[in-house]
Structure 1
């Protein structure tokens, strides 16, 4: 079975508090579990970066819902392709967002995670490069 992967980046409408982020995560986990979609969502410095993987129809349906979600805008499709395997196989939706007092630790830990990640495919390379760019933008 081929897996379809899609990576996008967007900006939140204002800063989102932890309650809203938790709601987004709960919605994603429920929907993705039902649709057999895996992936990772990162929220940092007002930006979302997400990779979705699963059946093409399910991923595109989820992305269409994201395009209509009023909590974010400036949605930019970074990558889409078919793959022979999932890279986030055990994650209905991995989610990362720092607590304000642990921001530097978050950035450093995430960069370490990124250094170990499989970047052998365009989708994962695009995802991790976009995450690193957003993380670095806060430090500049």
Structure 2
């Protein structure tokens, strides 16, 4: 089971990006619209219409890299896996989008980011959501500073 502190962090309505690459190492990156945990798997919500190449790459290789960033502190965690799967969003996933956007708006108020900007930048049509899930195999601290990029001693550890 994933460490409860890791689960609490990655599901706390953070800024999330997810990436993969094709057979020629060309990266595809997308902003995610939330995260949940299902047993040992991280489940990231993305817009289907904005992630065609990302989903194709994950379907071909299974390789996934995610970055979870707490904007107000810059605390950041990168998780990587090799068993990525694309799936359908549940009704609960679609319902969680407004909660995610409201929480992100609150987080970004410290930077005077207008709520309308956050909803535009971080939002999508709930019916366009799909999931990308994976089992974290590697974890790295990406918080700016001397330890950025260091592998964490355990995939369950937090920076």
TM-score above 0.5, yes or no: no
Which structure has the larger Rg?
2
TM-score normalised by length of structure 2: 0.28
Of structures 1 and 2, the one with the larger relative CO (CA 8 A, separation 6+) is 1
